[in-house]
Chains A and B, each alone.
Chain A
Amino acid sequence: MNDEVILLDYWASPYGMRVKIALDEKGVDYECQAENLQNKSPLLLKSNPIHKTIPVLVHNGKPICESLIIVSYIDEVWHDKSPLLPSDPHQKSQALFWADYIDKKIYDVGRKVLWEKGEDQEMAKKESMEGMKKLEGELGNKRYFGGENLGFVDVALVPFTCWFYSIETRGNFSIEAECPKISSWAKRCVAERESIAKTLQDPHKLYDYYVKLNP
Protein backbone atom coordinates (compact mmCIF):
# COMPACT_ATOMS: atom_id res chain seq x y z
CA MET A 1 0.00 0.00 0.00
CA ASN A 2 1.46 3.33 -1.02
CA ASP A 3 0.22 5.61 1.70
CA GLU A 4 1.07 9.27 1.70
CA VAL A 5 1.20 10.45 5.30
CA ILE A 6 2.08 14.03 6.19
CA LEU A 7 2.14 15.45 9.70
CA LEU A 8 1.82 19.21 10.13
CA ASP A 9 3.46 19.91 13.45
CA TYR A 10 5.36 22.28 15.72
CA TRP A 11 8.48 21.06 17.52
CA ALA A 12 7.47 22.11 21.04
CA SER A 13 3.89 20.86 20.89
CA PRO A 14 3.09 17.95 23.21
CA TYR A 15 -0.05 17.36 21.10
CA GLY A 16 2.12 16.83 18.03
CA MET A 17 4.37 14.49 19.99
CA ARG A 18 1.37 12.24 20.71
CA VAL A 19 0.87 11.72 16.98
CA LYS A 20 4.57 11.10 16.29
CA ILE A 21 4.73 8.47 19.02
CA ALA A 22 1.64 6.71 17.65
CA LEU A 23 2.99 6.74 14.07
CA ASP A 24 6.36 5.38 15.24
CA GLU A 25 4.78 2.67 17.37
CA LYS A 26 2.94 1.51 14.25
CA GLY A 27 6.01 1.76 12.03
CA VAL A 28 4.26 4.20 9.67
CA ASP A 29 6.45 6.19 7.27
CA TYR A 30 5.52 9.84 7.23
CA GLU A 31 6.75 13.26 6.25
CA CYS A 32 6.89 15.85 9.00
CA GLN A 33 6.18 19.42 7.94
CA ALA A 34 7.31 21.86 10.60
CA GLU A 35 4.94 24.81 10.82
CA ASN A 36 5.83 28.37 11.68
CA LEU A 37 2.90 29.30 13.91
CA GLN A 38 3.46 33.00 13.15
CA ASN A 39 3.11 32.26 9.45
CA LYS A 40 0.93 29.20 8.93
CA SER A 41 1.24 27.29 5.66
CA PRO A 42 -1.59 27.25 3.09
CA LEU A 43 -1.77 23.48 3.62
CA LEU A 44 -2.42 23.93 7.35
CA LEU A 45 -5.05 26.63 6.81
CA LYS A 46 -6.76 24.47 4.19
CA SER A 47 -6.54 21.27 6.25
CA ASN A 48 -7.75 22.75 9.52
CA PRO A 49 -9.84 25.80 8.60
CA ILE A 50 -11.86 25.62 11.84
CA HIS A 51 -9.11 25.75 14.45
CA LYS A 52 -6.01 26.45 12.31
CA THR A 53 -3.92 24.51 14.84
CA ILE A 54 -1.41 21.70 14.67
CA PRO A 55 -1.13 18.78 14.72
CA VAL A 56 -2.90 17.80 11.52
CA LEU A 57 -2.41 14.42 9.89
CA VAL A 58 -2.95 14.41 6.14
CA HIS A 59 -3.47 10.81 4.97
CA ASN A 60 -3.68 10.38 1.21
CA GLY A 61 -4.82 13.99 0.96
CA LYS A 62 -7.47 13.76 3.69
CA PRO A 63 -6.90 15.83 6.86
CA ILE A 64 -7.57 14.64 10.40
CA CYS A 65 -7.40 17.16 13.28
CA GLU A 66 -7.26 17.10 17.10
CA SER A 67 -4.45 14.97 18.53
CA LEU A 68 -6.53 12.33 20.35
CA ILE A 69 -8.82 11.92 17.35
CA ILE A 70 -5.72 11.52 15.16
CA VAL A 71 -4.23 8.89 17.50
CA SER A 72 -7.56 6.95 17.49
CA TYR A 73 -7.58 7.16 13.70
CA ILE A 74 -4.00 5.89 13.45
CA ASP A 75 -4.88 3.04 15.83
CA GLU A 76 -7.83 2.03 13.64
CA VAL A 77 -6.16 2.30 10.24
CA TRP A 78 -2.87 0.61 11.23
CA HIS A 79 -4.54 -1.85 13.53
CA ASP A 80 -2.21 -4.78 12.91
CA LYS A 81 0.70 -3.45 14.92
CA SER A 82 0.99 -2.19 18.51
CA PRO A 83 -2.70 -1.71 19.33
CA LEU A 84 -3.14 1.34 21.55
CA LEU A 85 -6.83 1.13 22.49
CA PRO A 86 -8.16 -2.03 24.16
CA SER A 87 -10.62 -4.11 22.13
CA ASP A 88 -12.98 -4.62 25.08
CA PRO A 89 -15.59 -1.83 24.85
CA HIS A 90 -15.62 -1.05 28.58
CA GLN A 91 -11.82 -0.94 28.85
CA LYS A 92 -11.75 1.22 25.72
CA SER A 93 -14.24 3.64 27.28
CA GLN A 94 -12.01 3.88 30.35
CA ALA A 95 -8.95 4.67 28.21
CA LEU A 96 -10.90 7.36 26.31
CA PHE A 97 -12.15 8.76 29.64
CA TRP A 98 -8.64 9.14 31.07
CA ALA A 99 -7.24 10.64 27.89
CA ASP A 100 -10.07 13.20 27.97
CA TYR A 101 -9.27 13.85 31.66
CA ILE A 102 -5.63 14.43 30.74
CA ASP A 103 -6.62 17.04 28.15
CA LYS A 104 -8.94 18.89 30.53
CA LYS A 105 -7.13 18.59 33.84
CA ILE A 106 -3.47 18.13 33.04
CA TYR A 107 -2.69 19.99 29.83
CA ASP A 108 -5.10 22.91 30.27
CA VAL A 109 -4.21 23.36 33.93
CA GLY A 110 -0.47 22.87 33.34
CA ARG A 111 -0.64 25.66 30.77
CA LYS A 112 -2.13 27.94 33.42
CA VAL A 113 0.83 27.28 35.75
CA LEU A 114 3.10 28.48 32.93
CA TRP A 115 1.10 31.48 31.79
CA GLU A 116 -0.87 32.77 34.80
CA LYS A 117 0.38 34.72 37.79
CA GLY A 118 -0.52 35.22 41.45
CA GLU A 119 -3.63 33.53 42.75
CA ASP A 120 -4.62 32.04 39.39
CA GLN A 121 -1.23 30.38 39.15
CA GLU A 122 -1.46 29.10 42.73
CA MET A 123 -4.85 27.57 42.05
CA ALA A 124 -3.54 26.00 38.83
CA LYS A 125 -0.62 24.47 40.74
CA LYS A 126 -2.96 22.95 43.28
CA GLU A 127 -5.29 21.60 40.55
CA SER A 128 -2.32 20.29 38.62
CA MET A 129 -1.11 18.26 41.60
CA GLU A 130 -4.58 16.94 42.33
CA GLY A 131 -4.87 15.87 38.70
CA MET A 132 -1.51 14.14 38.72
CA LYS A 133 -2.37 12.29 41.93
CA LYS A 134 -5.62 11.03 40.41
CA LEU A 135 -3.64 9.78 37.42
CA GLU A 136 -1.16 8.15 39.73
CA GLY A 137 -4.06 6.31 41.35
CA GLU A 138 -5.21 5.14 37.93
CA LEU A 139 -1.69 3.93 37.05
CA GLY A 140 -1.44 2.00 40.32
CA ASN A 141 1.26 -0.64 40.11
CA LYS A 142 0.88 -1.22 36.39
CA ARG A 143 3.88 -0.98 34.13
CA TYR A 144 2.01 1.36 31.82
CA PHE A 145 -1.48 2.87 31.89
CA GLY A 146 -2.17 0.34 29.12
CA GLY A 147 -1.08 -2.55 31.38
CA GLU A 148 1.90 -4.61 30.21
CA ASN A 149 2.08 -2.66 26.95
CA LEU A 150 2.01 0.98 26.02
CA GLY A 151 -1.54 2.18 25.47
CA PHE A 152 -3.66 5.14 24.44
CA VAL A 153 -3.47 6.86 27.83
CA ASP A 154 0.34 6.51 27.93
CA VAL A 155 0.58 8.15 24.50
CA ALA A 156 -1.84 10.89 25.63
CA LEU A 157 0.17 11.76 28.75
CA VAL A 158 3.85 11.08 28.09
CA PRO A 159 4.57 14.14 25.86
CA PHE A 160 3.51 16.36 28.72
CA THR A 161 6.37 14.99 30.84
CA CYS A 162 9.00 16.88 28.85
CA TRP A 163 7.22 20.05 29.96
CA PHE A 164 7.43 19.01 33.65
CA TYR A 165 10.75 20.81 34.11
CA SER A 166 9.29 24.14 32.91
CA ILE A 167 6.20 23.75 35.08
CA GLU A 168 8.21 22.75 38.16
CA THR A 169 10.68 25.60 37.73
CA ARG A 170 8.06 28.27 37.06
CA GLY A 171 5.67 26.88 39.68
CA ASN A 172 8.39 26.17 42.21
CA PHE A 173 7.44 22.61 43.13
CA SER A 174 8.55 19.06 42.39
CA ILE A 175 6.33 16.63 40.53
CA GLU A 176 8.71 13.77 41.39
CA ALA A 177 8.32 14.48 45.10
CA GLU A 178 4.52 14.70 44.88
CA CYS A 179 3.95 11.89 42.38
CA PRO A 180 6.86 9.44 42.40
CA LYS A 181 4.98 6.72 40.46
CA ILE A 182 4.26 9.11 37.59
CA SER A 183 7.90 10.12 37.62
CA SER A 184 9.14 6.52 37.37
CA TRP A 185 6.53 5.72 34.74
CA ALA A 186 7.82 8.64 32.64
CA LYS A 187 11.42 7.40 32.94
CA ARG A 188 10.32 3.85 32.05
CA CYS A 189 8.59 5.11 28.90
CA VAL A 190 11.73 6.87 27.69
CA ALA A 191 13.99 3.93 28.61
CA GLU A 192 11.82 1.22 27.07
CA ARG A 193 10.15 2.78 24.04
CA GLU A 194 12.27 4.14 21.22
CA SER A 195 9.24 5.94 19.79
CA ILE A 196 9.10 8.01 22.98
CA ALA A 197 12.83 8.48 23.49
CA LYS A 198 13.27 9.93 20.02
CA THR A 199 10.12 12.07 20.06
CA LEU A 200 10.21 13.83 23.43
CA GLN A 201 12.01 17.15 23.35
CA ASP A 202 14.78 18.03 25.78
CA PRO A 203 13.10 19.59 28.85
CA HIS A 204 15.80 22.27 29.17
CA LYS A 205 15.46 23.26 25.53
CA LEU A 206 11.70 23.65 26.09
CA TYR A 207 12.31 25.70 29.22
CA ASP A 208 14.68 28.09 27.38
CA TYR A 209 12.07 28.50 24.64
CA TYR A 210 9.31 29.11 27.19
CA VAL A 211 11.33 31.64 29.19
CA LYS A 212 11.97 33.69 26.05
CA LEU A 213 8.20 33.86 25.46
CA ASN A 214 7.34 34.53 29.11
CA PRO A 215 10.32 35.96 31.03
Chain B
Amino acid sequence: MAKQEDEVILLDFWASMFGMRVRIALAEKGIPYEYREEDLKNKSQLLLESNPVHKKIPVLIHNGKPVSESSIIVEYIDEVWKDKAPLFPSDPYAKAHARFWADFIDKKLYQIGRNLYTTKGEEHEAAREEFISCLKLIEGELGDKPYFGGESFGYLDVSLIPFYSWFQAYETYGNMIIEHECPKLIAWAKRCIQNKESVSKTLPDLEKILAFVQHLRKRFGIDE
Protein backbone atom coordinates (compact mmCIF):
# COMPACT_ATOMS: atom_id res chain seq x y z
CA MET B 1 0.00 0.00 0.00
CA ALA B 2 1.17 3.56 -0.70
CA LYS B 3 2.18 5.25 2.54
CA GLN B 4 2.12 8.89 3.56
CA GLU B 5 5.91 9.13 3.42
CA ASP B 6 6.78 7.15 0.30
CA GLU B 7 10.32 7.24 -0.91
CA VAL B 8 10.40 6.73 -4.66
CA ILE B 9 13.65 6.77 -6.64
CA LEU B 10 13.96 6.17 -10.39
CA LEU B 11 17.30 5.10 -11.85
CA ASP B 12 17.10 6.01 -15.51
CA PHE B 13 18.76 7.32 -18.68
CA TRP B 14 17.29 10.36 -20.41
CA ALA B 15 17.05 8.80 -23.90
CA SER B 16 15.62 5.43 -22.85
CA MET B 17 12.10 4.84 -24.13
CA PHE B 18 11.75 2.23 -21.39
CA GLY B 19 12.61 4.78 -18.72
CA MET B 20 10.17 7.25 -20.29
CA ARG B 21 7.36 4.73 -19.75
CA VAL B 22 8.00 4.79 -16.01
CA ARG B 23 8.29 8.60 -15.89
CA ILE B 24 4.95 8.92 -17.70
CA ALA B 25 3.24 6.43 -15.36
CA LEU B 26 4.57 8.23 -12.27
CA ALA B 27 3.44 11.59 -13.68
CA GLU B 28 -0.03 10.23 -14.54
CA LYS B 29 -0.42 9.18 -10.93
CA GLY B 30 1.04 12.40 -9.55
CA ILE B 31 3.72 10.55 -7.58
CA PRO B 32 6.66 12.63 -6.35
CA TYR B 33 9.97 10.91 -6.95
CA GLU B 34 13.70 11.45 -7.15
CA TYR B 35 15.10 11.05 -10.67
CA ARG B 36 18.68 9.81 -10.91
CA GLU B 37 20.41 9.91 -14.26
CA GLU B 38 22.76 6.95 -14.78
CA ASP B 39 25.98 7.06 -16.74
CA LEU B 40 25.62 3.78 -18.64
CA LYS B 41 29.40 3.58 -19.13
CA ASN B 42 29.91 3.89 -15.39
CA LYS B 43 26.89 2.45 -13.58
CA SER B 44 26.23 3.47 -10.00
CA GLN B 45 26.62 1.10 -7.07
CA LEU B 46 22.92 1.54 -6.37
CA LEU B 47 21.99 0.41 -9.88
CA LEU B 48 24.28 -2.62 -9.72
CA GLU B 49 22.82 -3.58 -6.32
CA SER B 50 19.21 -2.90 -7.30
CA ASN B 51 19.29 -4.81 -10.57
CA PRO B 52 22.16 -7.28 -10.17
CA VAL B 53 20.65 -9.66 -12.74
CA HIS B 54 20.46 -7.36 -15.78
CA LYS B 55 22.27 -4.21 -14.52
CA LYS B 56 19.92 -2.11 -16.65
CA ILE B 57 17.72 0.93 -16.26
CA PRO B 58 14.97 1.74 -15.53
CA VAL B 59 14.80 0.58 -11.93
CA LEU B 60 12.18 1.90 -9.53
CA ILE B 61 13.14 1.81 -5.87
CA HIS B 62 10.05 2.13 -3.66
CA ASN B 63 10.79 2.43 0.06
CA GLY B 64 14.09 0.63 -0.52
CA LYS B 65 12.62 -2.20 -2.61
CA PRO B 66 13.69 -2.34 -6.27
CA VAL B 67 11.46 -3.22 -9.22
CA SER B 68 13.04 -3.82 -12.66
CA GLU B 69 11.81 -4.17 -16.28
CA SER B 70 9.71 -1.25 -17.51
CA SER B 71 6.48 -3.16 -18.20
CA ILE B 72 6.66 -4.77 -14.78
CA ILE B 73 7.39 -1.39 -13.14
CA VAL B 74 4.39 0.26 -14.87
CA GLU B 75 2.14 -2.58 -13.72
CA TYR B 76 3.49 -2.23 -10.18
CA ILE B 77 2.86 1.52 -10.18
CA ASP B 78 -0.69 0.95 -11.44
CA GLU B 79 -1.40 -1.49 -8.59
CA VAL B 80 0.18 0.42 -5.74
CA TRP B 81 -1.25 3.82 -6.70
CA LYS B 82 -4.53 2.45 -7.92
CA ASP B 83 -6.76 5.31 -6.85
CA LYS B 84 -5.69 7.70 -9.57
CA ALA B 85 -5.54 7.46 -13.37
CA PRO B 86 -5.88 3.67 -13.76
CA LEU B 87 -3.73 2.49 -16.65
CA PHE B 88 -4.92 -1.09 -16.96
CA PRO B 89 -8.52 -1.97 -17.78
CA SER B 90 -10.19 -3.97 -15.02
CA ASP B 91 -11.53 -6.67 -17.36
CA PRO B 92 -9.02 -9.57 -17.46
CA TYR B 93 -9.42 -10.10 -21.20
CA ALA B 94 -8.83 -6.43 -22.06
CA LYS B 95 -5.85 -6.51 -19.69
CA ALA B 96 -4.37 -9.59 -21.41
CA HIS B 97 -4.91 -7.90 -24.76
CA ALA B 98 -3.01 -4.77 -23.64
CA ARG B 99 -0.18 -6.93 -22.25
CA PHE B 100 0.03 -8.82 -25.54
CA TRP B 101 0.57 -5.66 -27.57
CA ALA B 102 3.08 -4.23 -25.09
CA ASP B 103 4.97 -7.52 -25.38
CA PHE B 104 4.83 -7.22 -29.20
CA ILE B 105 6.29 -3.71 -29.00
CA ASP B 106 9.10 -4.96 -26.76
CA LYS B 107 9.95 -8.01 -28.85
CA LYS B 108 9.58 -6.53 -32.32
CA LEU B 109 9.48 -2.75 -32.52
CA TYR B 110 12.47 -2.06 -30.31
CA GLN B 111 14.87 -4.50 -31.97
CA ILE B 112 13.81 -3.73 -35.54
CA GLY B 113 14.03 -0.01 -34.80
CA ARG B 114 17.55 -0.56 -33.54
CA ASN B 115 18.43 -2.40 -36.74
CA LEU B 116 17.37 0.69 -38.69
CA TYR B 117 20.29 2.70 -37.36
CA THR B 118 22.85 -0.05 -36.84
CA THR B 119 22.75 -2.04 -40.10
CA LYS B 120 23.64 -1.54 -43.75
CA GLY B 121 22.85 -2.93 -47.15
CA GLU B 122 20.44 -5.86 -47.42
CA GLU B 123 20.02 -6.18 -43.65
CA HIS B 124 19.05 -2.52 -43.50
CA GLU B 125 16.53 -2.86 -46.32
CA ALA B 126 14.94 -5.83 -44.57
CA ALA B 127 14.82 -3.89 -41.30
CA ARG B 128 13.13 -0.97 -43.06
CA GLU B 129 10.38 -3.18 -44.45
CA GLU B 130 9.89 -5.02 -41.17
CA PHE B 131 9.69 -1.74 -39.26
CA ILE B 132 6.96 -0.37 -41.49
CA SER B 133 4.98 -3.65 -41.27
CA CYS B 134 5.34 -3.59 -37.52
CA LEU B 135 4.06 -0.02 -37.24
CA LYS B 136 1.14 -0.83 -39.54
CA LEU B 137 0.14 -3.77 -37.35
CA ILE B 138 0.23 -1.51 -34.31
CA GLU B 139 -1.77 1.15 -36.18
CA GLY B 140 -4.32 -1.56 -36.99
CA GLU B 141 -4.69 -2.25 -33.29
CA LEU B 142 -5.39 1.46 -32.65
CA GLY B 143 -8.09 1.53 -35.31
CA ASP B 144 -10.32 4.57 -34.93
CA LYS B 145 -9.97 4.81 -31.17
CA PRO B 146 -8.55 8.06 -29.74
CA TYR B 147 -6.16 6.03 -27.58
CA PHE B 148 -5.09 2.38 -27.49
CA GLY B 149 -6.90 2.28 -24.15
CA GLY B 150 -10.12 3.43 -25.85
CA GLU B 151 -11.50 6.71 -24.58
CA SER B 152 -8.73 7.02 -21.99
CA PHE B 153 -4.97 6.96 -22.13
CA GLY B 154 -3.86 3.55 -20.83
CA TYR B 155 -1.13 0.97 -20.38
CA LEU B 156 -0.51 0.40 -24.08
CA ASP B 157 -0.40 4.14 -24.81
CA VAL B 158 2.21 4.49 -22.05
CA SER B 159 4.18 1.56 -23.53
CA LEU B 160 4.31 2.96 -27.05
CA ILE B 161 4.37 6.77 -26.84
CA PRO B 162 8.05 7.01 -25.79
CA PHE B 163 8.99 5.47 -29.15
CA TYR B 164 7.59 8.61 -30.80
CA SER B 165 10.57 10.57 -29.47
CA TRP B 166 12.76 8.23 -31.52
CA PHE B 167 10.76 8.69 -34.75
CA GLN B 168 12.96 11.38 -36.26
CA ALA B 169 15.98 9.12 -35.75
CA TYR B 170 14.10 6.15 -37.25
CA GLU B 171 13.02 8.26 -40.22
CA THR B 172 16.49 9.64 -40.88
CA TYR B 173 18.27 6.30 -40.74
CA GLY B 174 15.35 4.26 -42.01
CA ASN B 175 14.83 6.59 -44.96
CA MET B 176 11.08 6.86 -44.49
CA ILE B 177 8.39 9.29 -43.47
CA ILE B 178 6.29 7.60 -40.85
CA GLU B 179 3.32 9.94 -41.34
CA HIS B 180 3.01 8.73 -44.95
CA GLU B 181 2.97 5.10 -43.84
CA CYS B 182 0.97 5.41 -40.62
CA PRO B 183 -0.94 8.69 -40.44
CA LYS B 184 -3.28 7.49 -37.66
CA LEU B 185 -0.34 6.60 -35.47
CA ILE B 186 1.16 10.08 -35.87
CA ALA B 187 -2.22 11.65 -35.12
CA TRP B 188 -2.44 9.50 -31.97
CA ALA B 189 1.05 10.55 -30.87
CA LYS B 190 0.24 14.25 -31.33
CA ARG B 191 -3.02 13.74 -29.44
CA CYS B 192 -1.11 12.22 -26.50
CA ILE B 193 1.35 15.12 -26.44
CA GLN B 194 -1.42 17.68 -26.67
CA ASN B 195 -3.77 16.15 -24.11
CA LYS B 196 -1.43 14.53 -21.60
CA GLU B 197 0.95 16.69 -19.65
CA SER B 198 2.67 13.52 -18.38
CA VAL B 199 3.67 12.87 -22.01
CA SER B 200 4.56 16.40 -23.13
CA LYS B 201 6.72 16.94 -20.05
CA THR B 202 8.48 13.58 -20.34
CA LEU B 203 9.30 13.11 -24.02
CA PRO B 204 12.65 14.60 -25.02
CA ASP B 205 12.93 16.65 -28.23
CA LEU B 206 13.06 14.45 -31.30
CA GLU B 207 16.16 16.36 -32.48
CA LYS B 208 17.98 15.55 -29.26
CA ILE B 209 17.32 11.84 -29.76
CA LEU B 210 18.48 12.12 -33.37
CA ALA B 211 21.73 13.73 -32.18
CA PHE B 212 22.10 10.96 -29.61
CA VAL B 213 21.70 8.27 -32.28
CA GLN B 214 24.25 10.09 -34.49
CA HIS B 215 26.64 9.96 -31.56
CA LEU B 216 25.94 6.24 -31.00
CA ARG B 217 26.65 5.48 -34.63
CA LYS B 218 29.99 7.29 -34.44
CA ARG B 219 30.86 5.48 -31.25
CA PHE B 220 30.12 2.07 -32.79
CA GLY B 221 31.79 2.97 -36.06
CA ILE B 222 28.64 2.58 -38.14
CA ASP B 223 29.11 5.75 -40.13
CA GLU B 224 32.13 4.53 -42.04
Contact = CB atoms under 8 A, between A and B. Distances in A.
Interface stretch (B67-75, B123-131, B167-175): B67-75
Nearest to A105: B53
Nearest to B73: A93
Contacts of B95: 73, 76
A77 interface: yes
B114 interface: no
Interface residues of A, number: 21
Interface in A167-188: none
A97 B79 CA distance: 16
A45 to B, nearest CB: 15
Interface residues of B, number: 22
A50 interface: yes
A16 B67 CA distance: 28
A70 B104 CA distance: 15
A100 B92 contact: no
Interface string B42-81: 0000000000010000000010010111001101100110
A89 interface: yes
Contacts of B62: 90
B124 to A, nearest CB: 24
Contacts of B93: 59, 62, 64, 73
A66 B103 contact: yes
A96 interface: yes
B53 A69 contact: no
A72 B134 CA distance: 25
Contacts of B104: 50
B75 A66 contact: no
A90 B67 contact: yes
A76 B75 contact: no
Interface string A70-87: 101100110000000000
B190 to A, nearest CB: 26
A101 interface: yes
Interface string A19-44: 00000000000000000000000000
Given A96-B72, A97-B72, A134-B53, A90 B96 contact: no
A97 B59 CA distance: 12
B53 A90 contact: no
Nearest to A77: B92
A92 interface: yes
B96 A50 contact: no
A92 B69 contact: no
B29 interface: no
A93 B92 contact: no
B103 A69 contact: yes
A73 B137 contact: no
B68 A69 contact: no
Contacts of A64: 93, 96-97, 100
Contacts of B67: 90, 93, 97
A155 interface: no
A70 B100 CA distance: 10
A60 B16 CA distance: 39
A100 B79 contact: no
23 contacts: A50-B137, A59-B93, A62-B93, A64-B96, A64-B97, A66-B100, A69-B96, A69-B99, A69-B100, A73-B93, A73-B95, A73-B96, A77-B92, A89-B79, A90-B62, A92-B79, A93-B73, A93-B75, A96-B69, A96-B72, A97-B69, A100-B69, A100-B72
Given A64-B97, A65-B100, A90-B65, 15 more contacts: A50-B104, A50-B137, A64-B100, A69-B99, A69-B103, A72-B96, A77-B92, A89-B76, A89-B79, A92-B76, A92-B79, A93-B72, A93-B75, A97-B72, A101-B53
Per CB-CB distance, the 3 closest pairs between chain A and chain B, nearest first, are A76-B92, A73-B96, A89-B79
Interface of A: 50, 59, 62, 64-66, 69-70, 72-73, 76-77, 89-90, 92-93, 96-97, 100-101, 134
